Structure 1
Amino acid sequence: MNKYKVIEKFISINGEGSRAGQLSAFIRFNYCNLNCSYCDTKYANTVDASYELLTEQDILDYLNDNNVINVTLTGGEPLIQDNIDILINLLLENNYSVEIETNGSIDIKPFINKKRPIFTLDYKTPSSNMENKMYLNNYQYLTKNDVVKFVVGNYDDLNKTKEIINTYDLTNHAKVYLSPVFGMIEPSTIVDYMIKHQMNDVYMQLQMHKFIWDVNQRGV
C-alpha cells in the first residue's frame, strides 16, 4: 500500500466550480510547488505542515463510510503527490466522481485514462506572482466536464483572463469561471467587466463556503 500525506479530510459542500453547492468529500494533501500571493491554504503547503499518513485503502474506507459520491482531491497540489495516479484510479474504479483541483503548473495528460477525473485547472493571474509557472499545453486535453478557473484581484488580472480565454478558445473546450480574490476586488467589478467585453459562456462565482462560515475556518 502507498501512503499519502493528508492535511485534512472532511465532508462539506463544494464551494466553487462546476459542482458548487453539492456535497463532496475533500481530501487535502500536503505541499504545493507554487506560492501564490493570495493563497488561502498556506497551512497545507509547507514541507513541515502537520499531516497524517493514509493509504489508498484508508481513503477509500473513509469515503465508503460517509456515503458521498463526489470526491475532491485538493491541496497543496494533489498531482505532485507520489503515486496519486493509483489513488485516482482506485476511486474511479469504485464509481466515485473524482475532481482534481490543480494549480495549472502540472501536466495533466498522465492522469487521463479511459475513466478520467474532472479537472478544475487554475490559471494563475499576474497578481498571484506565479503566472510564469503555468503549463499551457494542458488546454488541449480539456473537455466540457472540466473547469478553467481564473482568480482575479484587479483589472490587470481581468485583462489577462480575457486574453487567455480568447487565445485558447477556452469557452469552447471547458467551463470557464472567474472568481474574486476575497477582499481585494468587488464582485460587481467583475460583472461589469464581463458585460463590457461581452464575455459569454463565462461564469462568475463566489467562494460559497466563505459566506457560510468564517473566512479562516478550516474543514469546511
Structure 2
Amino acid sequence: MNMNNQIKYPVVEQFVSINGEGTKAGELAVFIRFKGCNLNCSYCDTQWANRQDTPAVEKTAAELVADVCRTGIDNVTMTGGEPLLQIELAGLIKELLSAGKAVEIETNGSVSLENVRAQVKHLTQERQSMERLSMTMDYKLAGSRMETFMRLQNFSELQPQDTVKFVAGSIEDLEKTRQIIQEYGLTQKCHVYISPVFGAIEPADIVEYMKAHQMNGVRMQLQMHKFIWAPDERGV
C-alpha cells in the first residue's frame, strides 16, 4: 500500500537519544514528537509542545520514514503531545513496521488503543510486524488533575508487549495505583511501571510502599534522561 503523501503530521521535534523510561530504557530510539494534546497534566514537562502557537514542521509519512531510516536506529518512539490524536497515524506506523522498525507509542490513556492497532492490522497481514508495535500508556492519577479523562476500556485492550505507567506524586497516588493494578490484573496482562513525579515524592518512598504491599511484577523506574541531562532540556 502506498503512503498517502497528502497527509501531513505536525512534528515539533525529531531527534535520536536513549529511551528514558519503559521496557526499552537505555536503548537508542528515534523520537518523533507530535504537536497537540487533549489533556493538561499538572506535572507535564512538555507543555510547550501542546500550545497552539508552537511552531511545527508538517511532514508526510514518506518524509518521516526516510528521516528514521537515515539514522540507522531500529527503535521509533512516537510521543507528544498525544500521538493517537494524529489523523491517519496507522499509515505511518505501518510503513515504519514495514521498514523493519519497532514502534512505541507513548499515550496518555484517554484515547483508544485498539482503534489504531486495528487500523494497522488491517494494513499489514504480517503478525511479526504487529508484535513490534507497543503502547506505553499512562494512567493519570489524581495528582495529575486529569484522572476523570482516563479511558478504562483500554485496560481490556492491552497486549503483552504493552506497558501501563503510573506517575505518582503522593502516597494517595500510590494507593490508587495499587487498586487499579489489582482490579484490572495488570501484572498478568502487560508490563507495569511506577515513576515518581519529578521533585514531588522521594523514589525511596515508592520502594518502601512497594515493599510494604508486596507489589510483585511492578517496576519502579526513574526517568533516566532527567538525570543525564537537565530535567527541562529538549531534544534528549
TM-score range, shorter chain: over 0.9
Could you list the per-position Cα deviations for residues 69-118 of structure 1 after superposition, in whole angstroms to 9, with x for gaps in the alignment?
00000000000011111111111111110000000000111122254310
**Aligned with 1:156 (options 159, 172, 179):** 172
1:13 — aligned with what? 18
Distance between the aligned counterparts of 1:46 and 1:82, measured in 2?
Answer: 18
In 2: Cα distance, 1:60 partner to 1:47 partner? 26
My pick for the range that moved more, 51-60 or 190-199, is 51-60
Alignment of 1:113-192 (within 5 A): 113=121, 114=127, 115-116=129-130, 117-192=133-208
Question: Which amino acid is 2:72 matched to?
Answer: N
Scaled by the length of structure 2, what TM-score is found?
Answer: 0.92
Q: 1-side partners of 2:52 and 2:108: how far apart?
A: 17
User: With structure 1 as the length reference, what TM-score do the two structures score?
Assistant: 0.98
Could you give the per-residue CA deviations for residues 162-215 of structure 1, whole angstroms, max 9, x where no partner exists? 010000000000100000000000000000000000000000000000000011
- Report percent identity of matched pairs: 51
1:88 pairs with 2:88: no
* CA-CA distance at 1:46 after TM superposition: 1.6
Which residue of the partner structure matches residue 82 of structure 2? 77
Kindly indicate whether the alpha-carbon contact (under 8 Å) linking 2:22 and 2:193 is maintained by their aligned counterparts in 1: yes
Distance (Å, rounded) in 1 between the aligned partners of 2:161 and 2:69: 24
Give the equivalent residue in structure 2 for 1:201. Answer: 217
Instruction: Map residues 2-81 of structure 1 onto 2, 5 A cutoff.
Output: 2-81=7-86
- What is the aligned partner in structure 1 of residue 231 from structure 2? 215
Do the aligned residues in 1 keep the contact of 2:166 with 2:177 (CA within 8 Å)? yes
Q: Confirm or deny: 8 A CA contact 2:16 2:28 kept in the other structure.
A: yes
The equivalent of 2:111 in structure 1 is 106
Q: Which amino acid aligns with 1:177?
A: Y
Matched residues in 1 for 2:212 and 2:77: separation? 34
1:64, distance to aligned residue in structure 2 (A): 1.0
Q: CA RMSD in A?
A: 0.8
Structure 2, unmatched stretches of 5+, are 122-126
Unaligned runs of 5+ in 1: none
How far apart, in 1, do the equivalents of 2:152 and 2:95 lie?
28
**Conserved in 1, the CA contact under 8 Å of 2:192 and 2:218?**
yes
Aligned residues between the structures = 220
Q: Distance in 1 between matches of 2:65 and 2:206?
A: 39
Contact kept in structure 1, 2:187 and 2:218, CA below 8 Å: yes
